[in-house]
Chains A and B, each alone.
Chain A
Amino acid sequence: MKTRKDASHSHQKHIPKPRRNPHWGKEEETNIFAERVKLFRTGKLSEDDFRRFRLQHGAYGSRLQMDYSMVRIKVPGGEIFPVQLEKLASLSEAFSIGSAHVSTRQNIQLHWVQLEDVSEVMRGLVEVGLTSREACGNTIRNVMCSPLAGVCPDEQFDSTVYSKAIARFFLRNPMCQNLPRKFKINFACCEKHGLVRIADIGLVPMTKDGSQGFRIYLGGGLGAASFIGYLLEEFTSEEKLLPTCMAVVRLFDRNGNRENMARNRMRYLVNEMGWEKFQKMVLKERSIVMMTTALSTESMFNLSAEEEDQYLPKENRNGTKLRMFSEPNSSNTNAYDRWVHSNVIAQKQAGYYTVFVTLGAGDVTANQLRVLAGTIRELSMEGAARNTPQQNFAIRFVNGNDLPEFFNRLASVGLSNPGALTITSAVGCSGTTSCNLAITNSHRLAKEIQYKFLELGLDTDDMLFDSTIKISGCPNSCGQHEIATIGFFGGASRIGSVMAPTYTMLFGGSAGERGELGRVVMRVPAKRVIDTVLNIIEIYRKERGEGETLRQWIDQVLKGEAIGSIRDIEDIKRALAAVVQLPPVDQQPESYQDYGSDVRFTAKTAKGECAA
């Protein structure tokens, strides 16, 4: 197995070289896709066969309109280049709705693409080295990596190349083309940042006695039933990274449930089998993999091939750890200061910063993408962006002196909103804007929350900054509501005699290695969600202990150990009882409608394609 070469460079260059074409895409697949569409349209290919093929190539059916697709573009490790952003801009204008969408798993999605045009989108992706292959379907989905990998002051080493090499190894690999269900692999940078315990395989880089390796978690995942992953062993050495991943995939492929669509993710297998048994099987399978894997197979896992030939500033090893947040906010009258405060963090490389670009629930226009691409080219030393699971972009290696210029360029296209790293930057899956399974318009709600909270200046309150709001339009958790401080998932409830869109509210979820799942608190009508959260913040401000953040207070409430008049969940429910009440429908019909709709609410859904 090839190991990673030492990437030390003797001198620094100031203008990043354009990145190499990463060649994730394949030209021939575009032609095959176009042909299959024609066969399907002329009845020569069955609907079931075509659907499986379509999903394997990253095209998902759109809400109640199967003539349109959502094309999910994989961004392995979340790393995306300016030329790719520009291509996505053009493709979104030509074939989609003029906006692209950053997903919670670092994909970029183009919505409402006519099925017959998907091959053209794929053709454009190939030109810039991207692919939608295996972005949907029962395969290994986009391999995630913490957007701070390589710059995080708390990380042991940069896991980016590992994420890309693992993605490369499994892409189009025959061993994972027809798994019982989708399979997700997430890399972290440190114990805090990363979705490692809600993935089928979650990996945290660590060193032991000077050698690199990982703490690997297995069997986690969010969905209608969610589980937190289990630690396989204290330390998995770099040499065992690939065999471990292969072993887990093979076990899942052999033993996973292929009958019951609702319970065939690997987490159910682990749960039914029991962790100890599963753990033993993985370790045994790994020995077999290590003994039997051909060298030619091993060589497909090539770390050095994923290395970027970039000259980047080195970290200052002798320096003290840098704060992840810039100086406390002195005044919020200045838009630039306010933005720096909540969107910019110091890297472990002194003098360099990571800038988070605030989007609204992941949406970005073609024009914004173009300006962003130009800004990255000129102002990021690594000449790339990272998609974040919070549906924003992170642009790293920005020189501190360039931050005002960076801000001005973002401001020129409406991208300079503050709050990217705060409670204001609500996450929302696509909901009823495009998804068959959605019951509510979670996407619009996330945007409404962001708009309202920025208007109220909640991004400037440092006591709220470590709290998150995440919203899904159904119980299936694409909005990752279970790892939010305050999470919501959509449903429909009868209120009086009328159906209304409602959300189930959860408290106390968190990401990272010590991640926990949120606990259900109560149901809230869609049009009461904003007031409810504001109410919670108001109560918290009255009740909190000295220096206690909102997140910490909520944890105390969950434990029943809060010190004020609100001690536990039951107290909170009582305190919120009034705000979640709706007046009769004839007095306030709009309260019974969903966001973005002026007609009576009905819970319309169709069959999901996740497990097809």
Chain B
Amino acid sequence: MKSKRSLSMDSQKKETLSGRGSGLESEYHSTPDTVCDVSTLSVLIRKKNVRVVDVRKEEEYAKEHIPRAVSLPLAKILEKESPARCIELLQDIGVNEDLPVVTYDDTFGALAARVAWTFQYIGHQHSSILEVTFSQWKNMGFPTEKKSNSYKWQPHPLKINQSIYADLAYVEKASSNKVLVDSRERLNFLSEHIPEAVNVPYTMLRADGRVLSKGDDIRRLLQNRGIDENSELVTYCGSVGTLSGLVYYGLKLAGLKNVRLYARSFKEWKALGKPKTEFKDANYWDLSAE
């Protein structure tokens, strides 16, 4: 087991060591606002000091889930995505301002990220995603359970956190310091994207066996790209902000401070007939073996 370096951007974050026998070496810090490693989550579950949120479909939750987890499918959040409705959902699963929330999915972390981001957006400070998917959690030998959990209603104030949110106006506003980050896969990006956007596909930030790479590795990727740590980064993807939600967390993990999610993403941009950059001079799609 190698020793760990702390994130240079955030000195107050505590180092945690994970000694899993799976060969998976976690270098995540169990920071409240990014990614929660499996050992930290195990401890938190044992201490009953966490709300684990399963964002998969209800029927998947019913079959098996992480102990003490509560079901809150992403679809419910997106149903009527009003902050007032979302805060009710948070209250209904018994989360107050101080209780850490850890979300997970079985879709490489993208759905979990979108839910965790929503909680942060409506004012919950301690909202993170699990470093692995449900399948990976299970394969690593961590316990699961079948019984359905519910928790007593807790009060939670609504405090919109505008600093992590981008709407169309924000995306369109000219700013020399702003970097639009297209989180979709390369072929989609080449086909069409918002002018001036850079492509950081969600696949670029993940690691074998984990939904996101280590912060240091992500930081190196961004440095290679010449993306300044003080930039305002705005992530977007194709439809509702899931892939870009994951990239949002990847960028936060790398220690970038100013990251926002354009939740309505390219779907809205296109629907409104906004300008696009299209690259038509090559038949790159024909290289895919899909």
- Residues of A with Cβ closer than 8 Å to B? 34, 37-38, 41, 62-65, 90, 93-99, 101, 111-112, 114, 116-117, 119-120, 359-360, 363-365, 368, 430-434, 441, 443-444, 447, 594-597, 599, 604
Question: Which residues of A lie under 8 Å from residue B79 when comparing CB positions?
Answer: none
Q: Are A596 and B208 touching (Cβ within 8 A)? A: no
Q: Are A116 and B226 touching (Cβ within 8 A)? A: yes
Question: Which residues of B lie under 8 Å from residue A114 when comparing CB positions?
Answer: 199, 225
Once bound together, how far apart are the Cα atoms of A599 and B283, in whole Å? 12
New contact pairs (15) apart from A433-B286, A594-B283, CB-CB < 8 Å: A38-B226, A111-B287, A112-B187, A114-B225, A116-B226, A117-B204, A360-B289, A364-B289, A365-B288, A430-B287, A432-B283, A434-B282, A441-B286, A443-B286, A604-B281
17 contacts across the A-B interface (CB closer than 8 A): A34-B224, A37-B224, A62-B282, A90-B208, A94-B203, A98-B186, A99-B288, A112-B284, A112-B287, A116-B225, A117-B225, A433-B284, A433-B285, A444-B286, A596-B283, A596-B285, A599-B280
Once bound together, how far apart are the Cα atoms of A382 and B98, in whole Å? 57
Once bound together, how far apart are the Cα atoms of A599 and B203, in whole Å? 32
Partner of A443, one of B190, B208, B287: B287
Once bound together, how far apart are the Cα atoms of A359 and B289, in whole Å? 8
Q: Are B287 and A120 touching (Cβ within 8 A)? A: no
Once bound together, how far apart are the Cα atoms of A114 and B201, in whole Å? 11
Q: Are B289 and A116 touching (Cβ within 8 A)? A: no
What residue of chain A has the Cβ atom nearest to residue B285's Cβ?
A596
Tell me, rounded to whole Å, the shortest Cβ–Cβ distance linking B209 to chain A: 11
Once bound together, how far apart are the Cα atoms of A19 and B282, in whole Å? 38
Once bound together, how far apart are the Cα atoms of A363 and B287, in whole Å? 7
Once bound together, how far apart are the Cα atoms of A447 and B185, in whole Å? 23
Once bound together, how far apart are the Cα atoms of A603 and B225, in whole Å? 33
Q: Are B208 and A441 touching (Cβ within 8 A)? A: no
Question: Which residues of A lie under 8 Å from residue B51 when comparing CB positions?
Answer: none
Question: Could you tell me which residues of chain B, from 12 to 63, have a CB within 8 Å of some CB in chain A?
Answer: none
B206 within 8 A of A: yes
Q: Are B221 and A117 touching (Cβ within 8 A)? A: yes
Once bound together, how far apart are the Cα atoms of A294 and B280, in whole Å? 55
Interface size on B, residues (CB 8 A): 27
What residue of chain B has the Cβ atom nearest to residue A86's Cβ?
B208
Partner of A112, one of B186, B221, B281, B289: B186
Tell me, rounded to whole Å, the shortest Cβ–Cβ distance linking B166 to chain A: 23
Residue in A94, A368, A596 with the greatest tally of chain B CB atoms within 10 Å:
A94
Once bound together, how far apart are the Cα atoms of A433 and B280, in whole Å? 11
Once bound together, how far apart are the Cα atoms of A368 and B290, in whole Å? 10
Tell me, rounded to whole Å, the shortest Cβ–Cβ distance linking A68 to chain B: 8
- Residues of B with Cβ closer than 8 Å to A? 185-187, 190, 199, 201, 203-204, 206, 208, 220-221, 224-226, 279-290
CB contact under 8 A between A433 and B224, given known A94-B204, A99-B289: no
Question: Which residues of A lie under 8 Å from residue B204 when comparing CB positions?
Answer: 94-95, 117
Q: Are B283 and A117 touching (Cβ within 8 A)? A: no
Once bound together, how far apart are the Cα atoms of A119 and B286, in whole Å? 25
7 closest pairs, A vs B, by CB?
A363-B289, A596-B283, A444-B286, A63-B282, A64-B281, A93-B203, A99-B289
Question: Which residues of B lie under 8 Å from residue A93 when comparing CB positions?
Answer: 203
Partner of A65, one of B208, B225, B282: B282
Once bound together, how far apart are the Cα atoms of A94 and B205, in whole Å? 7
Residue in B190, B225, B285, B288 with the greatest tally of chain A CB atoms within 10 Å:
B288
Tell me, rounded to whole Å, the shortest Cβ–Cβ distance linking B77 to chain A: 27
What residue of chain B has the Cβ atom nearest to residue A101's Cβ?
B287
Q: Are A65 and B287 touching (Cβ within 8 A)? A: no
Residue in A95, A111, A116, A604 with the greatest tally of chain B CB atoms within 10 Å:
A116
Q: Are A96 and B284 touching (Cβ within 8 A)? A: no
CB contact under 8 A between A363 and B288, given known A114-B199, A117-B224: yes
Partner of A119, one of B199, B203, B224, B280: B224
Q: Are A97 and B187 touching (Cβ within 8 A)? A: yes
Q: Are B286 and A97 touching (Cβ within 8 A)? A: no
Tell me, rounded to whole Å, the shortest Cβ–Cβ distance linking A301 to chain B: 36
Once bound together, how far apart are the Cα atoms of A439 and B123, in whole Å? 56
Tell me, rounded to whole Å, the shortest Cβ–Cβ distance linking A454 to chain B: 15
Residue in A38, A93, A101, A365 with the greatest tally of chain B CB atoms within 10 Å:
A93
Tell me, rounded to whole Å, the shortest Cβ–Cβ distance linking A44 to chain B: 13
CB contact under 8 A between A596 and B225, given known A97-B186, A117-B204: no
Q: Are A434 and B290 touching (Cβ within 8 A)? A: no
Once bound together, how far apart are the Cα atoms of A304 and B233, in whole Å? 53
Q: Are A99 and B282 touching (Cβ within 8 A)? A: no
Once bound together, how far apart are the Cα atoms of A416 and B59, in whole Å? 34
CB contact under 8 A between A433 and B203, given known A116-B225, A120-B224: no
Question: Which residues of A lie under 8 Å from residue B221 when comparing CB positions?
Answer: 117, 120
Q: Are A444 and B186 touching (Cβ within 8 A)? A: no
Q: Are A96 and B186 touching (Cβ within 8 A)? A: yes
CB contact under 8 A between A41 and B226, given known A431-B283, A434-B282, A443-B283: yes
Question: Which residues of B lie under 8 Å from residue A98 when comparing CB positions?
Answer: 185-187, 203, 288, 290
Question: Which residues of B lie under 8 Å from residue A117 when comparing CB positions?
Answer: 204, 221, 224-225
Residue in B186, B190, B206, B283 with the greatest tally of chain A CB atoms within 10 Å:
B283
What residue of chain A has the Cβ atom nearest to residue B227's Cβ?
A116
What residue of chain A has the Cβ atom nearest to residue B207's Cβ?
A90
Tell me, rounded to whole Å, the shortest Cβ–Cβ distance linking A100 to chain B: 8
Tell me, rounded to whole Å, the shortest Cβ–Cβ distance linking A33 to chain B: 10
Question: Which residues of B lie under 8 Å from residue A595 when comparing CB positions?
Answer: 283, 286
Question: Which residues of A lie under 8 Å from residue B220 when comparing CB positions?
Answer: 120
Partner of B290, one of A64, A95, A99: A99
Once bound together, how far apart are the Cα atoms of A604 and B279, in whole Å? 14
Residue in A63, A114, A119 with the greatest tally of chain B CB atoms within 10 Å:
A114
Q: Are A434 and B289 touching (Cβ within 8 A)? A: no
Tell me, rounded to whole Å, the shortest Cβ–Cβ distance linking B222 to chain A: 10
Once bound together, how far apart are the Cα atoms of A300 and B201, in whole Å? 42
Q: Are B279 and A65 touching (Cβ within 8 A)? A: yes
Once bound together, how far apart are the Cα atoms of A414 and B88, in whole Å? 46
CB contact under 8 A between A116 and B224, given known A90-B208, A98-B203, A604-B281: yes
Once bound together, how far apart are the Cα atoms of A452 and B201, in whole Å? 34
Once bound together, how far apart are the Cα atoms of A136 and B215, in whole Å? 33
Tell me, rounded to whole Å, the shortest Cβ–Cβ distance linking A324 to chain B: 28
What residue of chain A has the Cβ atom nearest to residue B289's Cβ?
A363
What residue of chain B has the Cβ atom nearest to residue A431's Cβ?
B283
Question: Which residues of A lie under 8 Å from residue B285 when comparing CB positions?
Answer: 433, 596
Question: Which residues of B lie under 8 Å from residue A94 when comparing CB positions?
Answer: 201, 203-204, 206
Q: Are B282 and A97 touching (Cβ within 8 A)? A: no
Tell me, rounded to whole Å, the shortest Cβ–Cβ distance linking A595 to chain B: 7
Residue in A63, A97, A101, A431 with the greatest tally of chain B CB atoms within 10 Å:
A97
